A = this chain, B = another copy of it.
Amino acid sequence: MTLQEVARVAGVSPRTVSNVVNGYEHVAPRTREQVQAVIDALGYRANAAARSLRTGRTGLLGLVVPALDQPYFAELARAVVREATGAGFTVVVDQTDGDPDRERELLLQGPRGAMFDGLVLSPLALTARDLLDADATRPVVLLGERTVDTAFDHVHIDNVAAARAAAEHLIGTGRRRIAAIGLQTEAHTGRQRAEGFMLALAEAGLPAHPHLLRYVEAYDRASGFAAMSAMLDGDLRPDAVFCFNDMLAIGALRACLTRGVRVPGDVAVMGFDDVEEVRYTTPSLSSVRPDRDAIARVAVGRLVARVERRADGVGPAQDVTVPHELVLRESTGPA
């Protein structure tokens, strides 16, 4: 079932059928009607491969995340797919498991990468070097702050300010031995949240005891559980803990309850991301809520603008900060 056949049946040229299919304006209403009737009758669908070959575009956007089964990325993916669909694009989701090679390969349009018109990349392990070396031929939007002067658009929340606000809230409710779980040596996110946390402590004149600063390998429940358990088994017990994402916080919460440590009575727990799950833990978790819909909207918007070479799609890389807010629930006690 090709455009040619439709043209033959409708008694017009392929050109005219193409015009109808693509909603070209200058087609006689009567002609359009007749052609459309034939299209419907024959159930004709344009061949995506042929169209791509001809136009050089695929209608595919890539979304690259560390892992789809992490609730934050699953929720983000949902939002991105919705946005892209609205803009007439289809989303291909790729998982990297934080493998730098895979992230790099996708950034540089490896085997699969060549297929996309554009890419939303949530890098976990990409270095400044990678970003500077990257000479991508297609538009790329990076999620996360712009740490180095690249040609890529960036979309992010203000992680430093968000973490600082979270820590300030804990301090404001009278907590004094405040711990942090989720520090990382490399990853930008972990470093920025640590920075905000430290700023709040310094500002309040509180010490940052090494025992209360916990590095983790991964931002998952198991790591949060392990880190909190280790902390509770030590001599210096925190009276509050700020976890750099919700999964860590859920693991930490479980560690507390398992040991009979009351939350928020003995320890206040604060998470980050505000995934759906934290509303249903017991106690429910306070968290920092990035405006996920805004992230998806802006990221897809920038990408589509560049792919379609719209007026707002040319020019230098943009750096967009979207809002976040502190969501207070039971785990941090009454304000």
Partner-B contacts on A (CB < 8 A): 45-53, 58-60, 67-69, 71, 74-75, 77-78, 81-82, 85, 90-95, 109, 111-115, 221, 225, 250-251, 253-254, 257-258, 276-277, 279-282, 284
- Contact A257-B282, Cβ < 8 Å, known A45-B114, A49-B49: yes
Q: Could you name 11 residue pairs across A and B whose Cβ atoms are closer than 8 Å?
A: A45-B111, A45-B114, A46-B113, A77-B93, A81-B94, A90-B115, A91-B92, A92-B92, A250-B280, A253-B282, A254-B281
CB contacts (< 8 Å) of A250 on chain B: these are 277, 280
The answer on a CB contact under 8 Å between A49 and B45 is: no
Q: Considering the chains assembled together, what is the distance between the CA atoms of A100 and B34 in angstroms?
A: 30
What's the nearest-Cβ distance from chain B to residue A291, in Å?
A: 16
Nearest-neighbor residue (CB-CB) of A59 within chain B: B112
Query: Which residues of B have CB within 8 Å of A253?
Result: 280, 282
Q: For A280, give its contact among B59, B82, B95, B251 (CB under 8 Å).
A: B251
Q: Decide if B52 touches A225 in the complex (CB within 8 Å).
A: no
User: Given A69-B74, A111-B90: A221 and B280 within 8 A (CB)?
Assistant: yes
Chain B residue at smallest Cβ distance from A282: B257
Inter-subunit contact A93/B94 (CB<8 Å): no
Chain B residues contacting A257 (CB-CB under 8 Å) are 282
Q: Considering the complex, give the chain B residue whose CB is closest to the CB of A220.
A: B276
Number of copies: 2
Alpha-carbon distance between A277 and B109 when the two chains are bound, in angstroms: 34
**Choice from B71, B78, B82, B90 contacting A92 with Cβ under 8 Å:** B90
Q: How distant is A254 from chain B, measured CB to nearest CB, in Å?
A: 5
Please, which residue of chain B has its CB at the minimum distance from the CB of A67?
B78
Instruction: Name the distance in Å between A274's Cβ and chain B's nearest Cβ.
Output: 13
Q: Which residues of B contact A94 (CB under 8 A)?
A: 81, 90
Chain B residue at minimal CB-CB distance from A251: B280
- With the chains together, A47 CA to B58 CA distance in Å? 11
Q: Are A276 and B45 in contact (CB under 8 A)?
A: no
Identify which of B58, B71, B225 contacts A49 (C-beta below 8 A).
Answer: B58
Q: Which among B47, B78, B254 is the interface contact of A68 at CB below 8 angstroms?
A: B78
Which of these, B46, B67, B75, B85, contacts A69 with CB under 8 Å?
B75
- CB <8 Å contact, B59 and A53: no
Contact between B95 and A93, CB atoms less than 8 A apart? no
Chain B residues with Cβ below 8 Å from A52 are: 48-49, 52-53
Smallest CB gap from A102: residue in B: B85
Query: Do A48 and B115 form a contact, CB below 8 Å, given A69-B75, A69-B276, A254-B282?
Result: yes
Is B112 a contact of A48 with CB atoms below 8 Å?
A: yes
- CA–CA, A51 to B114, complex, Å? 12
